[in-house]
Amino acid sequence: MCIFCEIIKGNIPSKKVYEDDNVLAILDISQITKGHTLVLPKKHFDNFLDLDDEYASHVFLAAKKITKMIDKAYKPLGFNIINNCNEIAGQSVMHYHLHIIPRYEKDELVMNHNDNSNKFDLDEIALKIRG
């Protein structure tokens, strides 16, 4: 069984910050910043591509509440709300989860984005994705 399913079942300890019938939110053990929280659907889905509509809605509604709870508790300057989908994108636990990462300073979390706008034809890409 996956590690987050074990946590949800209570077989592995965690620091719970929120729970309802469908969602459990726990402190991420790595604490990228103070209050870094993971929102887990209680049902196992491997990743964002697998997540069903019902749980997508449960997770996002819970994430809104929890973000406000962290905001009230620590008054950060902002948040990153992140999902890593598959290993190439940094997913290390294959049980869908959202990261809520409060932000206090600029360099706590570095995400480098290249500007590749000169390399791609946006009309062609939009057509391809729309199918």
List the catalytic residue out of 36, 58, 95, 97: 97
> Site for ligand AMP (CB under 6 A): how many residues?
13
Instruction: Work out the number of other CB atoms within 10 angstroms of the CB of residue 126.
Output: 9
Q: Between 30 and 112, whose beta carbon lies closer to ligand AMP?
A: 30
- Element counts in the chain: helices (H) and strands (E): 3, 5
Among the listed residues 29, 43, 42, 46, the one whose alpha carbon sits nearest the alpha carbon of residue 94:
46
30 alpha-carbon distance from chain centroid: 14
Q: How far apart are CA 91 and CA 9, in angstroms?
A: 21
Binding to ligand AMP, residues 64-93 (CB under 6 A): 84, 90-93
The entry of Zn ion, ligand AMP, none near residue 73 (CB within 5 to 8 angstroms by kind) is: none
From 5-13, 17-25, 55-63, 115-123, give the range in contact with Zn ion by CB under 5 A: 5-13
Where on the chain is the footprint of Zn ion (CB under 5 A)?
2, 4-5, 44, 95
